[in-house]
Amino acid sequence: MAKILKAIILPIAFFFGTCVILYLNPRADWNTIFWLLVLTAILGLAQYFLYKREEKKIQEAVNILIELLHSLEQQDEHLQLKDDIFGDLRDEICKSLVGQRQIRNEAIRARELLKRNMEDITHQIKTALTAVLLLLDLQKSDPEHSLEYQERMRQQVERLYEFCDLLLKLSSLDAGAVELNKTAFLAKELVLDAEMSLEYLMRQKEISLEVLGDDFTLTADRVWILQALINVIKNAVEVSPQGAKVTVLLHHNAIYQSIKVRDSGPGIPSQEQRKIFERFYKSNPRSSGFGIGLPLARSIVRQHGGEILVSSSGKGSELELRLYLQAGKENGLAVNNKP
């Protein structure tokens, strides 16, 4: 409406001004022509000053827009926006640039993460291969202990094979190339299978496993959920002291089913509770693990629409595999610190 008024106000003023001049001097003489010229000049000057005013406002809006672009480029979070003729354009530019900046930052983080992961993978592989080469040299120089060196080389090769297998599984989950074959099975049977898989490690550390809670039927991909549970229980066994006990608590209700694994370790500081799910992260750099087990477990549980919850105190930690009965719930990771 304001734009329409601005467009017709000068023609209307000229019309009424002409009517007044002709009313006061109806004769078509030089006096009438003079006042019409004066009226035309006045309205022309008025139009000129209005045009310059609009031009100044447009220039100010352009300057503000340029300043906004510089602010966005410098990632300034305190932007002063004004409602002017470029308001819609400014909003679209802001959305576009902010979106591009987020994409760029995500790409930079992904590149840094890929670089760090590749360094960790290379380190793990080179460590195992270096050990094998060293053992080969020792076997050649000390043939009397050849069988011992062969056994130790076999352990390194098995360790490398396990590492590659975990990486392949993790990559398959990341790429969405895993099709879950869900079946129904008992939770206690799953825990017993996980215990059998870790029997050698548990016997080495004299760790006992205690299962508490009522049994229930799980509906999931048994192979993948077993892999997740093995990784979580293995982590509990590794952090627990010699001769300790690992407790598995089964629980279910109308909303979710859970398997809690409680260890007797030193606990996880609050600042590290999220880091334990970062790939290749190890709270103890000297540990024999790869730092892949827990990230793989989380990916598997997420694939089933569940989450892993962490609870820790100075007397141990508890990791809960929680599978929701409602499809499509993906919460990722939750942390619950005990007082």
| pLDDT greater at residue 74 or residue 215 | 215
pTM of the entire predicted model? 0.59
Do 289 and 163 form a contact (C-beta atoms < 8 A)? no
Q: Report the candidate in 162, 114, 108 with the shortest Cα–Cα distance to residue 292.
A: 162
Establish whether domains 97-174 and 182-335 are of one fold. no
Average pLDDT over residues 286-315: 82
The domain locations on the chain are 2-85, 97-174, 182-335
Residue 96 has pLDDT above 60, yes or no: yes
In angstroms, the CA 308 to CA 142 distance is 49
Asked whether the predicted pLDDT for residue 337 surpasses 60, the reply is: no
d(CA 272, CA 291): 13
- Torsion region of 279: left, alpha or beta (phi above 0 gives left; psi -120 to 50 gives alpha): beta
Among 152, 151, 156, 319, which Cα is nearest to 234's? 319
Among 3.30.565.10, 3.20.20.120, 3.40.1280.10, 3.40.50.720, name the CATH number for the domain at 182-335: 3.30.565.10
Tell me which of 72 and 22 has the higher pLDDT. 22
- Does residue 325 come out as left (phi exceeding 0), alpha (psi in the -120 to 50 range) or beta? alpha
Who has greater pLDDT, 310 or 286? 310
Question: Which uninterrupted H or E stretch holds 228?
Answer: helix 222-239
Query: 248: pLDDT confidence band, cut at 50, 70 and 90?
Result: very high
> How many Cβ atoms sit within 10 Å of the Cβ of residue 317?
23
Which tens digits make up the pLDDT trace of 199-234? Answer: 988 999 999 999 999 999 999 999 899 989 998 999
- Residues 69 and 73: their CA atoms lie apart, in Å, by 6
Q: Considering only CA atoms, which of 334, 338, 234, 243 is closest in space to residue 289? A: 234
Structure tokens at 133: 């080469």
pLDDT tens per residue, range 10-53: 777 777 778 887 777 777 777 777 888 888 888 888 888 888 88
Fold of 97-174: Helix Hairpins (1.10.287)
